[in-house]
Amino acid sequence: MRMRFLGSTSEAGACPTLYETDRGTIVVQGLQVTDAEALADLRDVLEGETAVEIPRELITEIARRVLPAATETQAHEANAFPTPPRTHSATS
């Protein structure tokens, strides 16, 4: 899998950060949630999965920058990985 940096709201590129993959998915880099009470609220956590915390403004900022470009074919081809057909597999 290859990843392309989308952006961060942190100084010097530290976490939290979002990446786009060549598989049509998004990877989140952030601080691991370790609070037992918060972890108890998660649903259906599979082996190998974890929860990370990122600020809401990171998602809105990246959406503002990335999603409009994805609707323009030329910008999408220049700036994003092609989006493969969607599959629903927890082991991908």
66 within some domain: yes
Q: What span, in angstroms and rounded, lies between the C-alpha atoms of 65 and 59? A: 10
Query: Confidence class of residue 83 from pLDDT cuts 50, 70 and 90?
Result: low
86 within some domain: no
pTM, 2 dp:
0.63
pLDDT of residue 63: 86
pLDDT of residue 62: 85
18 within some domain: yes
89 within some domain: no
88 within some domain: no
pLDDT of residue 88: 46
Number of domains in the chain: 1
Q: Tens digit of pLDDT for each residue in 5-64?
A: 988 887 766 678 999 999 999 999 999 999 999 999 999 999 999 999 998 988 888 888
* DSSP H or E stretch at residue 69: helix 56-70
In this structure, the dihedral spanned by the alpha carbons of residues 87, 27, 47 and 1, taken in order and rounded to 10 degrees, is 70
49 within some domain: yes
90 within some domain: no
84 within some domain: no
**Domain coverage including residue 8:** 3-79
